[in-house]
Amino acid sequence: MSRSVRTRPEGSGQALSEAYDTALLDLDGVVYAGGSAIAYAVESLATAREAGMRLAYVTNNALRTPDTVAGHLTELGIPTDAEDVITSAQAVARLISEQVPQGARVLVIGGEGLRVALRERGLVPVESADDDPAAVVQGFGGPDLPWGRFAEASYAVARGVPWFASNTDLTIPSGRGIAPGNGAAVEVVRIATGAEPQVAGKPLPPMHRETILRTGAQRPLVVGDRLDTDIEGAFNGEVDSLLVLTGVTDGAQLLAAPPQHRPTYVDADLRGMLGGQPDVVEAGEGGFRCGGWTATAGADRLELDGEGEALDGLRALCAVAWTAAGEGVCELDGGKALARLGI
């Protein structure tokens, strides 16, 4: 992927499952939602695997172990081994191991996923700031994590112990709605100490490095639903990305995406991995065409003409909005055009 500013979604004459050797897939909002498989996910992933694409599942959730995640995916009908799962707990454990001695004690504020990852790197999890830890690591601990754990972290960090965080996602989806994520818990310790942690998870480089080291991917494709973690992580790693619209990102957010949040490809769901991607071409006078749709920039709004596949219209609108933003026109309203597409 070029680091030049992306001004339109790209096309591909090849199926993405053939053009890339490994899919680095986010989980929640991409493969499942609320614990259940998203429509077309199981079948699409099976077809991509049969075409020779390796599937790796990359999650910022440090609570669950790779074995647990693999078991859940297998139950959903997606056969998965623990080696196919990469977590932010693994990424942060490697980061810590590069800065403290082998066998060092690490104060854990989080769940079993962190403890397993630390032991894998030859580190010793401990529970108290009085256990002489060489580092503090903080990861999502679930809704039952006691408040006193944040105090324990604060005591150690205030003494100058290096502080690490698996990720800083402020929220996490649940079956009942949006709940506070590890980033909210990190803020508690930050407020108490004034310190800043080293962070490993998406969209930062340690997480991308971990996925490449564990998968050996030569031509990876990041597949996600979040612009600020999945797509920005691909941008930081200088690899291509596919945004699927089965999770948190809607059309308006995509049109307004800054350069680091613009995906290489856009599709409705994981079926987008199985075919090519249509070209978005210039249509004169600042307009762009994709399929049967032509998008242009009016005085204060994006305008859309034509008919056909709604996603083609969205791709054309992205090209106009991203180009206009680069020219300083940042307040174009795409609401009416998106409503016409039903997006």
**Would you name the residues annotated as active-site residues?**
26, 28
**SS3 state at 306:** strand
What is the maximum span of the chain, computed from C-alpha positions, in angstroms?
68
d(CA 338, CA 71): 39
Amino acid at 273: M
- The contacts of residue 66 (CB under 8 Å, 6+ apart) are 82, 83, 85, 86, 87, 90, 116
Q: Are 270 and 224 in contact (CB under 8 A)?
A: no
Decide the pairing of beta strands 287-290 and 281-284.
antiparallel
Q: How many CB atoms lie within 10 A of CB 261?
A: 23
- The contacts of residue 339 (CB under 8 Å, 6+ apart) are none
Scanning the structure block, which residue is given the tokens 């942690």?
A: 197
Side-chain half-sphere exposure of 122, counting CA atoms within 13 A = 7
d(CA 282, CA 290): 9
Q: Which helix (H) or strand (E) holds 65?
A: none
Query: Which tokens in the block code for residue 207?
Result: 């997480």
DSSP 34: T
d(CA 240, CA 147): 40
Q: Which of 287, 279, 290, 299 is nearest to 341 (CA)?
A: 290
